[in-house]
Structure 1
Amino acid sequence: MFKHIFFAISLCWCSVSLAQYKFSGQIANPQNEKSIYLSIIEDYRKLDRISLEQVVKKTVTDSLGYFNFYGNNLLEENRIYRIHLDDCSETSSLPDHFFGNCKNSKSILFIAKNTDTINFPRSFSDEMLCEIISTNNTSQIFLEIDVLKEQMAFEFNDFRSDASKKLNLQKWFGTLQDFGEQLNEPLAELYIYNFLSDKRNETYTYYIKDIIANNYYKELGERLSTTYPNTVFTAQYKKEIEIDEQIANNNTASSPLLKWLLPILLFISVVFNIYLLAMPKINAKKMCQLAYAKLTEQEQNIVKQILQNKTNKEIASTMFISVSTVKTHINNIYKKLEVTNRTEIKQQYH
């Protein structure tokens, strides 16, 4: 206990003095050169999925299994992040891997911002990524919510009758929503909402009824707009609520107009969400093109040869320059493209 208090105080001092984030931890069965990824999740419907498109940074463990992410490139306000250990191939397309159920993956979701210092220690039972010590008091709230979800699951398994199910749904919707609102962090409420409104869960049928009778969903939208305006997830939430209200109304009314309107709204929602999700990729591609345009003709020629997997010696021979000159050009290219190695160049410009 005292160890954790001392560590939390140390973390707080470090975050103030360095003014940058630092996420560190240790994996179980320590091994070096294990890949650890840091991801940001803007689409809350992908909270349970592992996707390379979400990754913002990658590191590897040292000989004792420790890993460390640090810098100042994260957002200044809270966002949902994931750290995960992944022993699968980066090109894996297996459904279990895509939905985060792969046995070779281990991950944890948490809330953080650019100035946070967070540690993910190994537990006494040698488990990894199951405990959080942070300077941000909202970092661990997903773990607290998961405890409530487990309690809910136990109660549902005790009695499977329709009457018991209805009572439990009413109780746990209220419990989870009240708990989330008291946390004063709309991201935590999104985490709860994603669970309760998930079409794959038994909660979905009750959610469709609750969305009409309960003013909570409108109020959550207002809290998101106040705390996180102009964000992808706030726009996504408002659009989903609008559509789900139409679904709920359609379930209680036999209007032919609504039956035709619903597919149209669903189509618009899909197109809108695809647009929102595509924007970061489009912007990233534009940034890459702008950076490439800043290169000299000589540097652009070297980039093309790097993409052809040529070595420095081969490039020097082709361009009739010395190897040291090639190295100088490559260092300048790294700075202008804001990359650190050839692999990143290939990922961005292939």
Structure 2
Amino acid sequence: MKISEKVKNFKLFILSKNDSVFFEKGDTLFANYTTNSIADKEWQQLKKFESQFEKLHDNFDTEQYLLKTKGYIKDSLQILLVKLISIKKLDDKKLLDKDIKEHTEYYVNLLDELKSSEIDPSLFLYLENKLSLLSREKTSKKYTISLVLNGLTVIAIIILVILFARSRKSSPKTTTTPLSKQESTIKELIISGKSNKEIANELFISISTVKTHISNIYSKLNISNRKELVVKK
């Protein structure tokens, strides 16, 4: 038998140490066999499902393929190893990254299941790396968005401060109510050092009237005592 013929005559199986496979006589090698391996049976069904897409080339609809494949994986596959094989097919077709971004939670949960199983971690390391990369990208994106929002907040605060300062600067200053003639006279007498009694005698008014005028003077000039009046003269 030629080497090329030997290479063609092979078939892969998924068997555990407790599984068995029995081959029946036939014209083609490995054509007829029976096995008690649930994983192998599920894998063979997966290959039949995928065979319907093998002849699609020019009219290959990736969205439809993803939709059908994901639906088949979720609804028909129970064995983790077979799920992993089907996902590797998506990766081979350069479709896994897109699907991970759209259905991140599904793949995170699947990875947790794989880590809890007895499957060799090296078989799903590629999936773990892809999820890790996606997580870093999302974190980086959130950080960038946070920086932008913080920057916009600072700019908004600066603009508000500038507008507030301009509004205060442009607003008309509060005009001081002018002193009456009598109040101006009393003010000058206070500055000259006169007491309330001396002012009352000089202007021929009562001390209480002097006090009322002084109170009005303080209020109009926004002061509270004689010292401030002398300083502000």
Structure ID, larger Rg: 2
What TM-score do the two structures reach when normalised by structure 2?
0.48
Structure 1 or 2: more strand by fraction: 1
